[in-house]
Amino acid sequence: MLLATVLFAAACVLATLAVGAGLAVLLTRVSRIPRLLLSLAAMAAWAVPSVSGSTTWMFLFDTDLGFVNQLLGIEGFNWMYDRYTAFGLVGAVVVWASFPFVMVTLYAGIEAIPKSVMEAAALDGASVWRTFWRIMVPMLRPVLAIVVIQSIIWDFKVFTQIYVMTRGGGLAGQNLTLNVYAYQQAFASSEYGRGAAIGVVTMLILLAVTVVYLRALRRSGEQL
């Protein structure tokens, strides 16, 4: 279960960073109106409560009436029946709700990069991909460190999306994570000691990540 939690969180973090970074770069290359529309759409996704967002996605992927099944021409396919498709769908919801933070933060960092540096790269004939990896990423390293650690903290303790969409952990507990399991033990089975122990383990793991986060924040403050 710990391994499943770690792998699920890692996949969500990587996907969130990829989507957020890609859209942040896109924001710097589109005109004002598309940039405003994209920003508003991202903020709307970020502002939606977790329960409402999870319920909406469940309706879109409903077995019988879901828009996705009708669009793909699939009849009676249950996305939550298989462990991996269920984790994938929940992960997509987590990424959908998390990428705006990464996008806005990295966009602000990119805008802080001196224009002369980007103009020099363009004059040297650097491609967009090369400019991103060789210029933007090194200069954004302090911001990236904060974004990565913050995303790890959020995604490791995801509860609402998994609990709502898998109805408490999926068939035979196939989609259980530490947070959902702790809730089940403490409130469904009245095993308060076991639930508290899981909570303490989760807290210690997140505390370690938080220490790293605070150190990265301090270092980035000194560098910036």
Looking at residue 18, its pLDDT comes to 93
**Which residues are CB-contacts of 93 (< 8 A; sequence separation ≥ 6)?**
53, 54, 57, 161, 165
Looking at residue 64, its pLDDT comes to 87
**8-to-21, 88, 122 alpha-carbon distances in Å:** 20, 9, 38
Query: How many angstroms separate the CA atoms of 211 and 112, rounded?
Result: 27
Q: Is the pLDDT score of 223 beyond 60?
A: no
Superfamily for domain range 2-223: MetI-like (1.10.3720.10)
- pLDDT per residue as tens digits for the range 72-119: 888 889 999 899 999 999 999 999 999 999 999 999 998 888 888 877
- Domain layout of the chain by residue ranges: 2-223
- pLDDT per residue as tens digits for the range 160-216: 999 999 888 887 778 888 888 888 888 878 888 888 888 888 888 888 877 877 777
Query: How many angstroms separate the CA atoms of 92 and 15, rounded?
Result: 9
This prediction has a pTM of: 0.85
